[in-house]
Copies of this chain bind each other. A is one copy, B any other.
Amino acid sequence: MDERKQKILQAIINCYVSSGEPIGSRTISRRYNLGISPATIRNEMSDLEESGYLEQPHTSAGRIPSHKGYRFYVDRLMKIKKLKDEEIELIKSGYRTKPTELEYFINLTAKMLSSLTNYTAVALKPIIQKSNFKHLQLIPLSKRQVLMVLVTDAGLVENKLVELPKFVEEEDLNRISQFLTQKFRGLNAEQIQNVNIDNLEREFLRYKQVIKELVDFLHKNIKPQYAERVYRGGTTNILDQPEFRDLDKVKALLDLLEKDEVISSVLMENIGKGITVSIGEENQYEEMKDCSVVTATYKIGEKQIGTIGVIGPTRMEYSKVIAVLDLTARTLSEVLTEMFT
């Protein structure tokens, strides 16, 4: 593709992204000073359509970018947008409060992303499987029910209800908690699978059954699983997009986005990959074939531990979204790292 075609493609994408209407040759020649007439542009556009970068909704309409066109744009043409000072300040200042809960920041991130981009934003909380075991505490609830509180070095907390095979005194629960904490400290999800507790010290022998149950429980419940808590922002922003005027289409999409497993799997897929962009049909879900998803990974220390993302129409302001996501992920990483190390 020669340079002139690229310029025209870029012009069309720029116009289309902001207007949402098919773009005609005259519009381009008027709005961009390319030094060529509408007729020439028409010929070039015809070529671009031929090679699949543009599409025509109907004969006498202008052209719109195809998925292939967007892909080319994202990979080759796009310059990452410089954010405005206000926008940068908005992100930074959002993270300046000292929260009492990790979730607060993740939730905040989703809200900020959506309000900065006007698209739907999603965020995953740090993934427990990617961090190391730090502390375990058993707390009695009823006769045989205990609450198992797990803490990892990234400050993640997980609460699980466990039913014990027999009643255990609170004092002994504490001792067992300390014992298990020692046993598991510093291990990651994989290493936990290999812990066994065959030779117990004397004092724990009478709780062999209970401890076995607890270790089994840990083995079962710390496996990688796609059901992380999902936080959302601006779910309804999609309703502002003219291409989603169709109620049935929008309903199908919103239904999909409501499912935690779906968001979770879309984001998990891209963890640790830096910034990713999936355009239209590249997404695995049929209902999202008119959407693009941009994701970024955040870290605690050196661990890539969570993912955030923006979901919008394929006609998305890619350069801005990428800039916002990049800065947000970096800032979030800094803040969390500061907090937990």
Contact = CB atoms under 8 A, between A and B. Distances in A.
Nearest to A161: B100
Interface of A: 98-102, 134-135, 137, 139, 141-142, 145, 147, 149, 151, 153, 155, 157, 159-163, 221, 232, 235-236, 239-240, 245, 247, 250-251, 254-255, 258, 339-341
Contact of A137 (B139, B141, B160, B163): B139
A3 to B, nearest CB: 42
A167 to B, nearest CB: 15
A19 B251 CA distance: 21
Contact of A98 (B101, B139, B163): B163
Contacts of A339: 141-142, 145, 161
Nearest to A254: B236
Contacts of A245: 247
A162 to B, nearest CB: 7
Nearest to A163: B98
10 contacts: A100-B162, A100-B221, A134-B139, A145-B155, A147-B151, A155-B161, A239-B250, A240-B251, A245-B247, A247-B247
Contacts of A251: 236, 239-240
A340 B113 CA distance: 39
A9 to B, nearest CB: 32
A66 to B, nearest CB: 27
